[in-house]
Amino acid sequence: MTLMSLQNVTRVHDGVHALKEVSLEVSAGELVAVMGPSGSGKSTLLNLAGGLDRATSGKVVIEGRDLAEVPDLAALRRRSVGYVFQDLNLIPSLTAAENVMLPRELDGVRATAARKEALAVLADVGLDHIAERFPGELSGGQRQRVAIARALVGERRLLLADEPTGAVDTATGDDILRLLRSRCDAGAAVLLVTHEPRYAAWADQVVFLRDGEIADSTAVPMESAR
């Protein structure tokens, strides 16, 4: 099942073609890595795929809904899309559990139910024992896992990750990739921007962008490094 598709999508910023006629599909169970030099359009692609930005032309469809016909993008994003950014954006004055609960509470879920969901996702990522700690009391890898838990909480199945391994050591980066991979294997779809070829080996498909266009797209054989 296709969770997100870009159909001939172009995005022009102030006369600059950040993305040109790009088509891409990400299905449930699939991890797609997006690579390419600085300025090639990776972040633009991720922002469009998650409804953070609108296409200049072409069509973006998330879970069967054409974004051009969705009046309230924020609500669709909260329900369907999880983001993990390099600078995690965890709120320092909230515990790990409270950080993970927050998007559900913003979506109108009651605190007790949101808390239950948050604890379940934290357990999924192996962090139930640190639920009551604050971000400042966690390691970099634990913080990254909390951010991933927050991106996954609720029903959201499309996960967008922009360099989630950028600020961590190799062992922690591997843990993060293992976690993203296991979420895919459980039915999520992940779009991962990375500069690291070693992480692309965990993907089902690697898309290379150059000057806003897909220069190459390669299916990764199953027997690779994962």
Check binding of 16 to ligand ATP (CB under 6 A): yes
Q: Does 215 bind ligand ATP (CB under 6 A)?
A: no
Q: How far is the CB of 173 from ligand ATP (least distance, A)?
A: 17
Q: Write down the least CB distance from residue 182 to ligand ATP, Å.
A: 26
Q: Which range binds ligand ATP by CB under 6 A, 8-16, 70-78, 127-135, 141-149?
A: 8-16
Residues 179-208 that bind ligand ATP (CB under 6 A): none
Query: In terms of CB distance, is 63 or 163 closer to ligand ATP?
Result: 163
Q: Which of 150, 205, 216 is nearest to 29 (CA)?
A: 205
Shortest Cβ 47–ligand ATP spacing (Å) = 8
Q: b/e map of 120-131 (b: 16 or more CB within 10 Å)?
A: ebbebbebeebb
Show contacts with ligand ATP in window 31-50 (CB under 6 A).
36, 38-44
Cα distance between residue 197 and residue 34, in whole Å: 10
Q: Which of residues 47-106 bind ligand ATP (CB under 6 A)?
A: none
3-state secondary structure of 133: coil
| CB-nearer residue toward ligand ATP: 13 or 178 | 13
Q: Which of 9, 18, 55, 60 binds ligand ATP (CB under 6 A)?
A: 18
Contact 1, 28 (CB under 8 A): yes
Closer to ligand ATP at the Cβ: 5 or 44?
A: 44
Report, in Å, the least distance between residue 162 CB and ligand ATP. 8
Strands 2-13 and 57-62: antiparallel
Residues in contact with 94: Cβ distance below 8 Å, sequence separation at least 6, in sequence order: 102, 134, 135
Residues 6+ apart with CB under 8 A from 73: 51, 54, 67
Nearest Cα to Cα of residue 43 among 80, 77, 11: 11
Grouping H, G, I as helix, E, B as strand and the rest as coil, residue 56 is: coil
Is residue 15 involved in binding ligand ATP (CB under 6 A)?
no
Chain contacts with ligand ATP (rule: CB under 6 A): 13-14, 16, 18, 36, 38-44
